[in-house]
């Protein structure tokens, strides 16, 4: 997976967005289409206990960013990964060649999160994040502008189009030359 000179042979992609925007659905399909490895951070945190306990208010684990980054360091250096998480500002910029922010219409997102059983406070917090484009701004603040792309993710047609676009990008990817 790694070239002799230490450069990655395959790209790493970060897919982020508010919960309910379709990250895991798109990442699973994209991994199948590209043969890249899908890393779901939420699942990894649970499996490897990369957290500092449970947050009753937010109804989720408290992610330990250092443990997550330590766990991923080697695999990210190899390349060929699609990382799926609703945050992005703690990952090293050098890990990613493309940062995708999925965005969903607020009404559609509200319905998706309601079906998941989100409590009122968690529901409104996530809808506000989407309205104010918090994750897009976080991505733009954390990564170079040419790496960040926002993609609409309202329905299965959007997901299919996004997977096709990103599959083409992966096929045409080459690591920028090091001067």
The secondary structure element, H or E, covering residue 135 is helix 134-142
**Is 17 marked within a binding site?**
no
**Is 28 marked within a binding site?**
no
**Is 34 marked within a binding site?**
no
**Is 25 marked within a binding site?**
yes
- Give the span between the Cα atoms of 116 and 123, in whole angstroms: 10
> Which one, of 175, 168, 176, 179, lies nearest residue 2 by Cα?
175
| Residue 107 neighbours by CB under 8 Å, 6+ apart | none
Give exposure, 140-172, as e/b (b: 16+ Cβ within 10 Å). Answer: bebbeeebbbbbbbbeeebbeebbeebbebbee
Neighbours of 99 (CB within 10 A): 26
Known binding residues: 20, 22-25, 116
Instruction: Output the known binding site for ATP.
Output: 20, 22-25, 116
């Amino acid at each position: 997976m790694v070239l002799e000179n230490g450069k990655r042979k395959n790209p790493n992609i970060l897919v982020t967005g508010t919960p309910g925007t379709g990250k895991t659905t798109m990442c699973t399909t994209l991994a199948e289409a590209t043969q890249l490895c899908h890393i779901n951070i939420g699942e990894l945190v649970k499996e490897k206990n990369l957290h500092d306990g449970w947050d009753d208010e937010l109804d989720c684990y408290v992610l330990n960013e250092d443990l997550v980054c330590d766990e991923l360091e080697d695999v990210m250096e190899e390349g060929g990964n699609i990382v799926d998480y609703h945050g992005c500002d703690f990952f090293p910029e050098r890990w990613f060649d493309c940062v995708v922010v999925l965005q969903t219409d607020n009404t559609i997102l509200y319905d998706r999160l309601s079906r998941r059983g989100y409590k009122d406070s968690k529901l409104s917090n996530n809808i506000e994040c989407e309205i104010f484009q918090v994750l897009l701004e976080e991505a733009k603040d954390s990564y170079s502008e040419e790496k960040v792309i926002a993609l609409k993710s309202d329905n299965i047609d959007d997901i299919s189009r996004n997977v096709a676009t990103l599959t083409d990008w992966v096929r045409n990817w080459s690591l920028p030359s090091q001067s």
